[in-house]
Amino acid sequence: GESVGLHLPTLSVQEGDNSIINCAYSNSASDYFIWYKQESGKGPQFIIDIRSNMDKRQGQRVTVLLNKTVKHLSLQIAATQPGDSAVYFCADYSGTYKYIFGTGTRLKVLA
């Protein structure tokens, strides 16, 4: 069935280093992808998105890469800060109403 998954449940990164969070999706018809950050006790916050006609998109300290050939999505966070500690998950959209959400990766930033 359709699924969006994450390779690592927990990622520990030293403060100041770059973080890379990965995501695999299975629906080749998906044309829109989103990364969310969810802090404890809060709702998911939009970080960055990318459409299927793009391979890369950059935001402030974040970059999303899309590899449609292998159905893989990654989120890169530059110069990771303590405030980046949270659960990150990806989502893909394949039309009408259906968003498929991953289970999330917990990012821990070590001082």
Partner 1 sequence: DADVTQTPRNRITKTGKRIMLECSQTKGHDRMYWYRQDPGLGLRLIYYSFDVKDINKGEISDGYSVSRQAQAKFSLSLESAIPNQTALYFCATSDPGGGTIYFGEGSWLTVV
Residues at the interface with partner 1 (CB under 8 A):
4, 32, 34, 36, 41-46, 49, 89, 91, 93, 95-104
Query: How far is Cα 110 from Cα 27, in angstroms, rounded to an integer?
Result: 35
Q: Tell me which DSSP letter residue 83 carries.
A: G
* CB atoms inside a 10 Å sphere around CB 28: 11
Query: How far is Cα 91 from Cα 69, in angstroms, rounded to an integer?
Result: 18
Instruction: Tell me whether residue 73 or residue 102 sits nearer to partner 1 (CB atom).
Output: 102
Min CB(106)–partner 1 separation in Å: 12
Angle at 19 between CA 7 and CA 102, to 5 degrees: 35
Min CB(51)–partner 1 separation in Å: 10
Instruction: Tell me whether residue 80 or residue 91 sits nearer to partner 1 (CB atom).
Output: 91
Min CB(81)–partner 1 separation in Å: 22
Instruction: Tell me whether residue 4 or residue 109 sits nearer to partner 1 (CB atom).
Output: 4
